[in-house]
């Protein structure tokens, strides 16, 4: 009995030393490029440290230019999480020069992701399918809008951080498990939110939501532009107005980083409602709660615009 007590005390002592070592251990310097990725990394790192967000909350990765402060952060980084250079084009050269000593994790390359090709058409009834090969040569990089993809990213983030920072590996894996359960519940809740408004017809500003559309079986009728870098011209707006008159369109959605005036021109004198969708979290506070809020807000915005 005395031996067992001594062994128990020794085990508790060793556990305490391990805990103190983990507490005193500095977490790695981690950078995430955009707010949704930053949120997922923050979920996994909770209790150990916090990642740095490279892009300001209101910046678009399509039009961003690195400043000296961002360059300095890349030089000091231990790990950089991004989606893919197809999205964060501003990082193509800096990753090779400034972050050459960092572990760079391209989340678009994670196995078993749902990968959808960029769509060529605006009014195509076929809104994509799971594929590893992009038949048009470019994958749609907005992969975070599918919570199933986000859950796979959580696994990859936890695995990467555990390898870089073994002292906190248990915390990273536990945080990942908790976050995955949260996103599973979120996905179920979003499906329920959308059920009353299925079969509604709507127009998006740009073709950046097909992962959300595909996951929740809620396809858009059309998009004004294929890319937020290419706003629609007068001809396209005229085509969409004809579609709106003939197609029982209920809502047209703009985005916070894009000019709402074009949407206002499109819906003028039609009686069609104007809603807003934020695909990257520009209107949200960065941190672990941003990603769930981003996905939930998309569903709430859809229901609100359709008047449910």
Would residue 252 count as lying in a domain?
Answer: yes
Would residue 140 count as lying in a domain?
Answer: no
Which residues have C-beta within 8 Å of that of residue 71, sequence separation ≥ 6? 94, 98
User: In the prediction, which pLDDT does 120 show?
Assistant: 62
User: In the prediction, which pLDDT does 253 show?
Assistant: 93
Q: Indicate whether 80 pLDDT > 90.
A: yes
Query: What pLDDT digit, counting tens, does each position of 252-301 carry?
Result: 998 887 777 788 888 888 889 999 999 999 989 999 999 999 999 999 99
Q: What is the CATH number of the domain that holds 232?
A: 3.40.50.1980
Would residue 40 count as lying in a domain?
Answer: no
CA distance 14 to 9: 9
Query: What pLDDT digit, counting tens, does each position of 190-231 carry?
Result: 999 999 999 899 999 888 899 999 999 999 999 887 665 566
Q: Are the C-beta atoms of residues 146 and 114 closer than 8 Å to each other? A: yes
Least confident of 60-64, 73-77, 83-87, 133-137: 133-137
Query: What pLDDT digit, counting tens, does each position of 298-307 carry?
Result: 999 999 999 7
SS3 content of the chain, % helix, strand, coil (to 5): 50, 10, 40
Would residue 235 count as lying in a domain?
Answer: yes
CA distance 277 to 202: 12
Domain of 263, in residue numbers: 193-305
For 202-264, the DSSP string reads EEEEES--HHHHHHHT---SEEEESBTTB---HHHHHHHHHHHHHTT--EEEE-TTS-HHHHH
Interval 23-35 mean pLDDT: 84
CA distance 255 to 280: 10
CA distance 279 to 145: 7
Total domains in the chain come to: 1
Would residue 198 count as lying in a domain?
Answer: yes
Q: How deeply is 202 buried, as exposed, middle or buried, from its count of CB atoms within 10 A (0-12, 13-18, 19+)?
A: buried
User: In the prediction, which pLDDT does 58 show?
Assistant: 76
**DSSP for residue 100:** T
Would residue 298 count as lying in a domain?
Answer: yes
Query: What pLDDT digit, counting tens, does each position of 104-151 carry?
Result: 999 999 999 999 998 764 443 333 333 333 333 488 999 999 999 999
Would residue 223 count as lying in a domain?
Answer: yes
């Amino acid at each position: 009995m005395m031996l067992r007590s001594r062994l128990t005390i020794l085990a508790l002592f060793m556990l305490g030393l391990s805990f103190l070592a983990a507490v005193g251990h500095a977490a790695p310097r981690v950078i995430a490029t955009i707010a949704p990725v930053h949120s997922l990394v923050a979920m996994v790192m909770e209790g150990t440290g916090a990642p740095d967000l490279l892009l300001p909350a209101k910046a678009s990765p399509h039009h961003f230019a690195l400043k000296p402060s961002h360059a300095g952060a890349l030089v000091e980084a231990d790990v950089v999480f991004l989606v893919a250079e197809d999205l964060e084009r501003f990082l193509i050269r800096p990753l090779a020069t400034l972050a050459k000593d960092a572990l760079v994790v391209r989340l678009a390359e994670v196995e078993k992701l749902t990968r959808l090709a960029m769509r060529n058409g605006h009014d195509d009834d076929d809104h994509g399918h799971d594929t590893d090969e992009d038949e048009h040569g470019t994958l749609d990089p907005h992969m975070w809008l599918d919570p199933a993809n986000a859950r796979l990213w959580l696994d990859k983030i936890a695995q990467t951080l555990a390898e870089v920072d073994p002292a906190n590996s248990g915390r990273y894996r536990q945080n990942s498990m908790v976050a995955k359960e949260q996103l599973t519940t979120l996905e179920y809740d979003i499906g329920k939110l959308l059920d009353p408004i299925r079969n509604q017809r709507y127009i998006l500003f740009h073709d950046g939501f097909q992962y959300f559309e595909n996951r929740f079986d809620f396809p858009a009728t059309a998009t004004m532009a294929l890319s937020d870098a290419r706003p629609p011209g007068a001809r396209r707006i005229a085509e969409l107005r004809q579609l709106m008159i003939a197609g029982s369109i209920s809502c047209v959605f703009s985005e916070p980083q894009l000019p709402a005036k074009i949407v206002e021109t499109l819906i003028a004198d039609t009686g069609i409602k104007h809603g807003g969708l934020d695909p990257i979290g520009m209107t949200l506070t960065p941190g672990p709660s941003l990603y769930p809020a981003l996905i939930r807000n998309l569903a709430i915005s859809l229901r609100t615009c359709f008047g449910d």
